[in-house]
Structure 1
Amino acid sequence: MSAPVKRLTTSAMIASFADADQRTNSAPFGHALARLADERPEIVGLSADLAKYTDMHVFRDAHPNRFFQMGMAEQAMLGAAAGLAEVGLVPFASTYSVFATRRAYDFLCLDIAEPYLNVNVVGALPGLTTGYGPSHQATEDLAILRACPNLTIVDPCDSVDIEQAVPALADHPGPTYLRLLRGKVPTVLDEYDYRFELGRAASLRDGNDVVFISTGLMTMRALQAAERLQKDHVDAAVLHVPTIKPLDTAAILNAVRGDRLVVTCENHTRIGGLSEAVAAAVAYAGIATRIVPAALPDEFLAAGALPTLHDRYGLSTDALCARVKKELQ
């Protein structure tokens, strides 16, 4: 009798978008928050029964007396975070992006943003970073939140961005929303002399033929695409936009100079995210240039394996390279 076959399983909820041979850092948000709390006693953490899946468990284990488990009650969690901020604490409240935006928007808007409280909402699984389908894919969170007054929105590229963003968000006096990359997060930006600055975009490489204006994990893909395109004699620049709101309009207008092909890259639907923000900034400035969006379609996405989905919906490095080559023909 043959031995039973051992089946390898991977949870689509915690699947990584990192390449197999890529350098990664485990739970950068949780470790950065725990380190910051070592120095600042006013830092507190909250979770809606998802500490393990938002890397908040690292903070919980390091500072158990400053962690609040709110259960599956996202609206109550944001209301409680507002109350903690009212008495001088600096809360980081974590859940999945779909629940923070679709389910608890009114509490984020009126309890936190309207009184301009220092509450940091941390949304895991932004865009297409899970294969669990529309119930967990926050493909429209930026579109929902960009219209909320007073709210600062950050979409980090990698572990470097996250580690540097955490103290900056705590220092910011008003409310913030962080699109969290969790688990084993790629480490990319340390090779580009990069420093996160709230509200500022960063030029990571220059090029004469095409400029990628990117945010979130798509900056990693834009950098990979630029390297590959170089072998085909296509000179690509990359402008990383980690802060979606307020938008670094000056850097964007400088990036669309000349006759370079402009490609916006985002892990979000093409409606209401970076692409439309860039297009509006360019149009308002009276600049006539075509902008090509590399973004998710305006539809509910399929469930499945992340590499397959990223290729299917145009977020993979291969898809980016193919899109640029087609546009340059």
Structure 2
Amino acid sequence: MSISAAQVKELRDMTGAGMMDCKAALKETDGDLEAAVDWLRKKGIAKADKKAGRTAAEGLIGTASQGASAVVVEVNSETDFVARNEAFQEIVRNIAAVALTTDGSTEAVAAATYPGSEKNVADTIKDAIGTIGENMSFRRSAKLTVASGAVATYVHNAVSDNLGKLGVLVGIETTGDAEAARAFARQVAMHVAATNPLALTPEEVDPVAVEREKAIFSDQARASGKPENIIEKMVEGRLRKFYEEVVLLKQSFVINPDLTVEQALKEAEKEIGAPAKLTGFVRMALGEGIEKEDTDFAAEVAAAVKS
């Protein structure tokens, strides 16, 4: 039988499922609306879409590496309980593995085929919502590659191999010993996890952030009543201090605070056996930037009792 657009729209309004899913449900049930709702629920599709409005700020960060490339991904869930679920952890591992086969962009990973399936990552996540029972989302991914050398990975608060609450990638280019380079880059990754630098070099710091700091320093210096030429030197000094705080290469190395990261890199070259250069880093913390809903549990219980 033919299914009208009005029928599809009505089912979509009732369940929140996608247009194609609604059309398939109506075809399978010969246009019976109630049966179509049940068909969607059995498939987990209506359930998934109903849950999709709930905030998913928990979950896991996953990393994977191969050769001179590494990736980090974030997959969110509503609760930390689900993040400890082995099925969820396997999904994050597989998405990280898939990310290695792409350019690492979030869009490319979402569209890539999930291992052992004909579906892409985005659709696999949607199916898993119905199976696991709460809202989940593949939020983002990033990839680092070097021409020669290594990309080290580090996961903080690990719950399993390469899975945790915070992931870092650090790229190091060298023609020397790749494993020695990776070992040093991993130390730098641990440093990045601890200090959260804004940029690798002073030149890469957001100009807006630099101008904001300069304006603050200038106002503070002028308040002291010093002449303009002295103010200029004071601002330069404060700006150097600012870079030491937020620029990776200028920061004191957490492994050896007597050295900056830049100086530690020079020392590491002896072990690596050739000049080495840090090319970039990615630091991904679980849930950063997600506005979590504040829930009043007592109010929820009271509302449930009244209803």
Same fold (TM over 0.5): no
TM-score by length of 1: 0.23
Larger Rg: 2
**TM-score, scaled relative to structure 2:** 0.25
